[in-house]
């Protein structure tokens, strides 16, 4: 009897050791192949720019390529759904953005939930928005408001999709100033900006990083910063409040998440690598040069941010007069 118990104990011990060895091997082996980073917005946009700056450094540290895959459309929903359905093995990641929180306030049947279907890894950056126009439209915020009131329903403003922050800022501007301007949604900021340069769209509230080259070239004109402070890259441009339109303040954040169920050791490793990249002086300098403020966070802090945003945005959506679909 004792001999049988000893044999059973040895078998159990062997199984436990094998499991431990497998776990150790898995931890040491990751990543053993390229990692796919889904960016649910077009190439060349603000999210794309920030992601590529950071992942370049992360790739070097991990010894494997982090391949950016742009999956734009439906205010980030298309890319988010693709990521949510991916295997939770650490080889598919998603850049989460504020609109994914806003989407929950606008759609009853959204097929994913950022808090439920993903494991937070780290925040990446924050950025400010800028009110820009085609130079032929207006020379100042007050000039824009006067023209919009004189031509109700004639001035158009673009967004990167219904329910995005660009859309909500536009609606807030419309209500705050009493103007009748028309919303024209796009699949992302770059195609909208191209139409602005061509004179097909009058105004927009894009992120500063994506519009900066067009401002420097004079193809578009900045009228105001959407935020509490002026931007270092646009020191001469007033905030909306300074320009006579108070009460509009919005900052966007980007962060990295993995499909829910991704092993904890992998999520922790990725958090360490993204945090390390965001502390790198060269990375911080490049991000700042594009108008981003490097962020970075613990996994728990990012989870707390997502929860706080999910409480905040339904209120903002109701105040903007938007409705669920």
| Rounded Cα distance, 189 and 242, in Å | 25
Judge whether residue 127 has pLDDT over 60.
yes
| Rounded Cα distance, 296 and 278, in Å | 6
218: number of Cβ within 10 Å: 8
Q: Which of 102-106, 227-231, 311-315 has the lowest mean pLDDT?
A: 102-106
**Average pLDDT over all residues of the chain:** 87
Sequence spans of domains, the chain: 32-127+252-319, 128-226
Judge whether residue 8 has pLDDT over 60.
no
Structure confidence at residue 25 as a pLDDT band (50, 70, 90): very low
The residue with tokens 């759904």 is 81
Q: Residue 21 has what pLDDT?
A: 36
Sign of the alpha-carbon dihedral angle for 220, 97, 184, 45? positive
Judge whether residue 228 has pLDDT over 90.
no
Structure confidence at residue 323 as a pLDDT band (50, 70, 90): low
Q: Residue 305 has what pLDDT?
A: 92
| Rounded Cα distance, 167 and 163, in Å | 6
Q: What is the pLDDT of residues 255-280, one digit of tens each?
A: 999 999 999 999 999 999 999 999 99
Mean pLDDT of 23-50: 82
Do 32-127+252-319 and 128-226 share a fold? yes
Mean pLDDT of 292-297: 90
Preceding amide of 31 cis, omega within 30: yes
Structure confidence at residue 4 as a pLDDT band (50, 70, 90): low
Q: What is the pLDDT of residues 159-192, one digit of tens each?
A: 987 778 888 899 989 999 999 999 999 988 889 9
The pTM assigned to this predicted structure is 0.73
Q: Which of 33-37, 58-62, 183-187, 227-231 has the lowest mean pLDDT?
A: 227-231
Judge whether residue 51 has pLDDT over 90.
yes
Judge whether residue 76 has pLDDT over 90.
no
Pairwise pLDDT comparison (275 vs 128), residue with the higher score? 275
Best CATH choice for the domain 128-226 from the list 1.10.260.40, 3.40.190.10, 3.40.50.2020, 3.40.50.11740: 3.40.190.10
Best CATH choice for the domain 32-127+252-319 from the list 3.40.190.150, 3.40.50.300, 1.10.1750.10, 3.40.50.720: 3.40.190.150
Q: Residue 3 has what pLDDT?
A: 53
């Amino acid at each position: 009897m004792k001999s049988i118990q000893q044999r059973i104990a040895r078998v159990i011990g062997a199984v436990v050791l094998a499991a431990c060895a497998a776990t150790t091997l898995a931890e040491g082996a990751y990543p053993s192949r390229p990692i796919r980073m889904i960016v649910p917005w077009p190439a060349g946009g603000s999210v794309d720019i920030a992601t590529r700056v950071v992942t370049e450094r992360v790739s070097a540290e991990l010894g494997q390529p982090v391949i950016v895959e742009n999956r734009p459309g439906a205010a980030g929903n298309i890319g988010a759904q693709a990521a949510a359905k991916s295997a939770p093995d650490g080889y598919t990641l998603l850049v989460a953005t504020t609109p994914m929180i806003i989407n929950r306030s606008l759609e009853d049947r959204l097929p994913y939930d950022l808090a439920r279907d993903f494991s937070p890894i780290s925040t990446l950056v924050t950025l400010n928005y800028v009110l820009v126009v085609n130079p032929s439209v207006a020379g100042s915020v007050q000039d824009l408001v006067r023209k919009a009131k004189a031509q109700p329903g004639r001035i158009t403003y673009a967004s990167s999709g219904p329910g995005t922050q660009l859309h909500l800022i536009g609606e807030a501007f419309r209500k705050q100033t009493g103007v009748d301007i028309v919303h024209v949604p796009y699949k992302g900021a770059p195609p909208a900006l191209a139409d602005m340069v061509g004179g097909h769209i009058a105004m927009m509230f894009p992120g500063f990083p994506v519009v900066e080259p067009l401002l420097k070239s004079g193809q578009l004109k900045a009228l105001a910063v959407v935020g509490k402070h002026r931007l270092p890259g646009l020191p001469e441009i007033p905030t909306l409040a300074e320009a006579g339109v108070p009460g509009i303040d919005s900052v966007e954040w980007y962060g990295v998440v993995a499909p829910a169920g991704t092993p904890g050791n992998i999520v922790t490793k990725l958090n360490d690598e993204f945090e390390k990249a965001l502390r790198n002086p060269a990375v911080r300098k490049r991000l700042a040069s594009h108008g981003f403020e490097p962020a970075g966070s613990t996994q728990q802090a990012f989870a707390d941010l997502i929860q706080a945003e999910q409480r905040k945005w339904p209120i903002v959506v109701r105040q903007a007069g938007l409705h669920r679909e």
